[in-house]
Structures are given as C-alpha cells and as structure tokens.
A and B are shown apart, each in its own frame.
Chain A
Amino acid sequence: MTSALSLVGLTRSFGPKRAVDGLHLEVRAGCMFGLVGPNGAGKTTTLSMATGLLRPDAGTASVLGRDVWSDPAAAKALMGVLPDGLRLFDRLSGGELLHYVGLLRGVPPADLALRSGELLEALGLAEDRDTLVVEYSAGMTKKIGLACALVHAPRLLVLDEPFEAVDPVSGEGIRSILRGYAGSGGTVVLSSHVMELVESLCDELAVVAQGRVLAAGTVDDVRAGSTLQQRFLDLVGFQAGGTGGLAWLRSSSASS
C-alpha cells in the first residue's frame, strides 16, 4: 500500500545551521499522525518541505505516490495545509477568504457555497463570516485556516500546531472533525508540543529533535510502558534540576 505521506532523506540547512537532517517518515493512509518535538526541532521546516512551501536541499517528499517536488500540481491537489507563522489574506472577511481559497483550488461554485456554509457552521465561525480576518482572535484565525485547508476535500491534511490558541470547546469541535475525517479514510499529519493531546488523539507519532526522527510508531510503541511525556523528555535529553536559580523571582523572598 502506498503511504499517504512519505519523506525520504529530507535535508535543509539555513546558513551553517542544519534544520532538518536526513529525515525519514512514512505515514500510512487513514492514520492520525502526530509530530512532536521541542522548539527548533525542525517540525515546521519539515512540514513546509512536505507541502511544497520550502524547497529541500536533498531528499524527496511524496503524497499518495505523487512526488511533491517533481509533480507539484498533482501532489498539492491531494493536500490540505495549515501552516504556522505565515500570514493569511487578512483583509478579506472569513467568508471571502474561504471562497477565495476554494476558487484557487478550483472547487465548483455550487459546491463551494455549500461547503463554506457547513465549514463555518461546524467551526463556530458562522457569526463572524463577514468580519475581516485581521480582526479575528488567534484561535479564530487557526479555525478559518483549518476551514481553508478542508474546503477542497483533500485526501491528506497537514496541520502545523492546529490547536494552538484554540479554546477547549472549539478544540473538541476540531478533534471530532479530524476523527471523522480520519475514520472515513483521510490522513492527518499534525504537529504539536502538547503530549496529552497527541496521546489522546493520534494513532501514531514521531518524536523529532535536531532535524531527525528519534522514535516513531504507534503511540503504545513509543510510550513503551511509560507516559508519553516522560518518554519524550528522555528522548530529547531533558535534564531536570536547576531549581536553585531564579531565587529573585520568588515573591516570598521579595522584601515586601
């Protein structure tokens, strides 16, 4: 069976810093896949290269057998993407933005109107469809970004930090949308720093640090009997301690 997403030897350097270093990853179709790692691990760089937004120095990425870098049009048509740290066309209203992305994706107008209404309703944005995206809160911006990633009914969703700044109620809404999507055969790749979230939501995950995959497999495989949080800390080499510092920050020691 072809992988939904297959990354082979992806490498990218920024100046002297090697952000992603020969990274391999296979995500099977129908899987909810989590990508976890500390800040600066190369998660965003990896996902950018996997989605055609950043050209790798070496290595290949393919989506359901279509190479992202030699056949970008075919690969991109299969993918819905929510990047992190890139702007949206925020002088459009939420409804206009969704319509715009639908037009860019070549969604037929009749379908587009129907899907826009349903997506905005499902994500709790129906009230704000005529408000400019620049006025949206961080969480609402994430949600409209997610709607844009879904509007063309992709086979693979690549989401960079989809739950950041999203409130618990909307978060649950997004989870159920994603579960339903994966249950019907869609594939989700999402990155997060929140271990509990990945543990409860994902079927499989990979731990990334310094541009390499340190561990990958089902959640149970990676946990290996411990909690995911503890395994993660062990894998990335966190040294507990250093509680002696920052004494001045403790309010009890302040001369008040």
Chain B
Amino acid sequence: MVALLVRLKLTLLRNSLRRSAWRTVGLGLGGLYALALVAGALAGAVALRSTSLAVTADVTVVAYAALTAGWLVLSLLVFGVDETVDPSKFALLPVRAAQLQPGLLAAALVGVPGVATVLVGLGLLVAWSRSVPLTLAALVALPLGLATCLLLSRAATAAFAAFLSSRRFRDLAFVVLALLGAGLGLAGNLLGGLVSVGPSGLRHLLAVVGRVAGWTPFGWAWSLPGDLARGQLLFAAAHLVLAVALVVVLWRAWGHFLAARLVEPVEGGGEATRVHGGGWVERLYPVSPAGGVAARTLRYWRRDPRYLAGVAGFLIAPVVVIVVTLTGPDSSVWPAVLSPALMALLVGSSLAADLAYDGSAVWAHISAGVAGAADRLGRVMSMLTVYLPLLVVLLGVAFGLTGRWDLLVPVLALTAVLTLGGLGSGSFVGTLWQWPAPPPGASPFQRGSSGGLPALLSFMVTAALTTLVALPTVALVVTSVFVPWAVWPALAVGLVTGAGALWLGVRWGGRRLDRRWPEVLTAVSERVA
C-alpha cells in the first residue's frame, strides 16, 4: 500500500507537470529555494560540530522546533497541505483509514517541502554524530521529529477544515486562527528582542529560548540528543515519552478525520442548509447585473470556507503588527497605526483571485453576456461591503490603543489610496491570467486553494501596481513629516488617484474580460482540456 500510494503521488505529480507550465516553473523555483535552505542548514550543522555541546543543544532545539512550528503555521495560514493524493478519492475502495495512513504519510514526503525537511533533518545527525550514544539519540530523534512535522500539519489542517465547514465551529476556528496570529506576533517580538541584547546577552537568551522551546510540543523530539549530551537522562526520558505520545496522538487524530472523509467525502451533508429567503442582501445593491454579482459574491463571503479563510488572511497581518508594536520594547507607533494601510494592500489581491474561486460556474456570466465591467464592479462592491467595517474597526483599535489621533489624516490618506488603488489593480490583474482552484466544498487548506505560483504572481503584481498608484500619496505623507500642512493635499491626492485607479481598473479589466471570456472559462475549469 505504501509503495502504491507513493507511486500514485509520483504519477500524479508527473502528469500535472506535463499539463501545466506554471507547475513546472513553480517546482523549479521551489526546488532552487529549498536547495539554498538545505545547503545553509547543513553548513550550519557542520559548523556546530566545532562548538560546545551546550551551544549545539540550544541551537538545534531552537532551529528544529522552529522548523516544526513552521510546518504547522505555514500549512494553516499560507500553503495548506499537499493533497495530490486526495484521501476522499479512496471512499469507494475497501480500505480503512489505518491502512492508508502510512502510505499517505510517505506520499506527503514526496515533493519539495517533504524532501527538503528530511534533508534539513539530516543536519541533526551531522551536528550530533560525535559519539555513538549521541548519534543513536539523534537517530531516534530524527524520525520522531519528522513525523511530528508532517502529522502536525495534516492533523491541524484536517481539524480546521472540519471546523470551518461546520457552522457551529466556524467562528471558533476564526478565534483560534487569530490567536495563532497573535502568538506569531509575540514570537516575532521575542526574535526582535534578540537583536537588541548584544552578543553576551545573546548566548543567555539562546539558552532560555532553547529551554522553553525544548518543552513545547514542537521541541520534544528534537531535544533528545541535547539532553543526553548534558547528561540529563531524566529529561531525555521525559522528552522521549512526550514525543512518542505526541506522534501517537497526532496519528490517531489524523486517522479520525481521515476516516470521516472516507465515509463522507462530500462536504456539507448532514446539517440544515436551508437559507433564509430574505432578500436583504439584494436590497444593498442596485437592481442590475453588477448588483447581482455583488449580492452573489457577498453571500459567498459568508458561505464559502475559502472566502472565510480569506477574511482571516486579511486580519492576521495587521493583528500581528499591532501585537508586536504594543508589546515590544521599541516605542515607535508607526507600524501599529499603519496596520490599516497594510490590510488595504491585501484587499486587491483577494479580488484578483475571485475568478479562480468561481471556477467553471462563471459560465453563467459568459452565457448571460454580462459586460466585463459589470462583473468587475459587482465584485468591488461586495468586497467593500465586507472590508469597510473591518477597516473601521481596525482603525479604531489601532488609534484607540496608541492614542496617536494626530496621525489619523496621513494614515487615512494612505489607507484610501491603497484600498481604492488595490481594488482597481485587483480588478485589472484578475483578468490577466486565471488558474483552476479547488471547488468551494474542498478544504481551504488543500494545497492549490492558495493557487500556487500563478496566485502568488497575481498577488505580487497586484501589490506592486497598488504601490505604484500610491507613490504620489506616500511622497506627500513623507513630506508632511517636515511640512505638516502637506497631509491635506496627501488626503486629496490619495482619494483622487485611488478613485482614478479604481475606475481604470474596472474599465480595462472589463474590456479585457469582454474579449477573453471563453479563455477565462477554460483557464478556471477543473478539467483543463
């Protein structure tokens, strides 16, 4: 079964590369990036061999605990997990979750992140192969640690996907994601502290962080060789027991969610899904094709887990920034008051991914002959409906907590130009290229729901265009630091250039859609011809 699933993964990977140039380029870039990381990690491991046992212990624990936490955080917040071998496809076959698990885990290792993690993990062996007992300890720690990485990302994403698709737990899942973001902020703050303490304090801080990290679930397995090297046999035994227990618990939890997917591969059954017939959503918008698109996308913001994950994505970066600034020793308030502008920068790229999220259902727009500009405008309207209240709350929080109301006008100028310009850029960039995204029922943590390379590129181009639109306003805001009255022209220029960019984006994007509707449909359809 293991060999079969790994072969299946390889076959699927090869076929997807053959079908899409995007994937090939993405794999190449990812591979290069991973190669650099692996080379750096291994060089570091070799260098550690010439340091003391204590330093090696602290550094390895911190680094590998960070790697493990990275698997959790990145798979939850950024990349999702690779489900090339989709477990729900096995629903019709007479197999149990327990039979699939080893194979799925092995298949998860096939791919750039898996291979890179194993290679980086080998650094532990390199660093600790100083005596037979230490080598043996590293040999025990390595598979435990690697299993923790993979299982943690699988179990956590499976649990969150289940929560997000169930109405009861959806809001809870948000709170947890937000807390995770805040936790990231605190961790970032701690790292910021590292820089300010200087070399002598650094060694002390490393020891403290190492001790703390070793007792978090992320560091249990990786602490084994270090404990042994220090002669702390009791600690080593405790870490071993905890690490094994964690792997067992994660294995069971993952198996539980996997078993659920094998009997109910289609998400959404079982719950009462009747919706209220009230047309208040429609009354928000004009009676027109654009108004219809706005009402429909607004409903999707609430009903489609992928959009919900998107809202969480908007909020996490500003929340992290605010937490870092307010808890940090550094007293500059600029990052906190600028966090609304940061959120504004993310709005456009969400708009740019909208057509991919529609998938082949967008044929309804094409068949109805919806003008491209109406499609663009409708999406902008619903995005504003979701985003403006968030923005007001964030502005209130950022300024309420810092009390720097004197900075409100320049921040408003930046936020206005980034929001309007971002919506314009997103409206245009979204029509340049599209990609097939998994359907709405799929887990939002499935890899590819973030869209891979085309989505990343779309994000970067949108952000770059938005920044370009904002440049004059930014220049005026910077000037206002020296010439206070410049904030008012900054606000005016921000509003005017932003509105202009929005108008142009809707117009150009609309024209491009009018010319390319059928090609858009082909690009977003799941079954690419």
A interface vs B, CB < 8 Å?
A: 14, 51-55, 72-73, 76-77, 79, 81, 83, 85-93, 95-96, 99-101, 103-106, 109, 129-132, 134-135, 148, 152
Contacts and interface: CB of A to CB of B under 8 A. Distances in A.
Contacts of A148: 364
A92 B296 contact: yes
Contact of A77 (B359, B369, B525): B369
A28 B521 CA distance: 29
Given A91-B304, A93-B275, A96-B275, A14 B529 contact: yes
A53 B369 contact: no
B226 to A, nearest CB: 51
Contacts of B369: 52, 72-73, 76-77
A85 B527 contact: yes
B282 interface: yes
30 contacts: A52-B518, A53-B367, A53-B518, A72-B517, A76-B367, A76-B369, A81-B363, A86-B525, A87-B361, A89-B296, A89-B300, A89-B364, A90-B361, A91-B300, A91-B303, A93-B274, A96-B275, A99-B292, A103-B289, A103-B295, A104-B292, A106-B288, A106-B289, A109-B287, A129-B277, A130-B274, A130-B277, A132-B275, A135-B269, A152-B368
B268 interface: yes
A53 B441 CA distance: 24
Contacts of B365: 104
A74 B23 CA distance: 39
Contacts of B303: 91, 132
B367 A52 contact: yes
Nearest to A74: B369
Interface string B272-290: 0111110100100001110
B328 to A, nearest CB: 41
B370 interface: yes
Nearest to A45: B529
A103 B292 contact: yes
Interface residues of B, number: 44
B291 A103 contact: yes
Contacts, number: 110
A53 B497 CA distance: 36
B501 to A, nearest CB: 27
A91 to B, nearest CB: 4
Most chain A CB atoms below 10 A, which of B268, B363, B527: B363
Contacts of A100: 292, 295-296, 364
B521 A132 contact: no
A81 to B, nearest CB: 5
Contacts of B363: 53, 81, 83, 86
A76 B368 contact: yes
Given A96-B299, A103-B291, A134-B268, A87 B370 contact: no
Most chain A CB atoms below 10 A, which of B279, B289, B367: B367
Contact of B518 (A55, A73, A83): A55
Most chain A CB atoms below 10 A, which of B288, B369, B525: B369
A170 to B, nearest CB: 21
B325 to A, nearest CB: 38
Contacts of B292: 99-100, 103-104
A152 B517 CA distance: 21
Contact of B366 (A52, A92, A134): A52
A243 to B, nearest CB: 28
Contacts of A152: 368
B107 to A, nearest CB: 28
Contact of B361 (A89, A93, A99, A130): A89
B458 interface: no
A88 B274 contact: no
Nearest to A158: B367
Contacts of A96: 275, 296, 299
A90 B440 contact: yes
Given A53-B367, A88-B364, A91-B304, 10 more contacts: A53-B366, A53-B518, A76-B367, A76-B368, A85-B360, A89-B300, A93-B277, A100-B364, A130-B276, A130-B277
B273 A104 contact: no
A83 B360 CA distance: 11
A55 B361 CA distance: 18
Contacts of A89: 296, 300, 358, 361, 364
Contacts of A76: 367-369
A90 B276 CA distance: 16
B364 A101 contact: yes
B454 interface: no
Contacts of B217: none
B439 interface: yes
Contacts of A134: 268, 273, 440-441
B268 to A, nearest CB: 6
Contacts of B304: 91
Contacts of B274: 93, 130-131
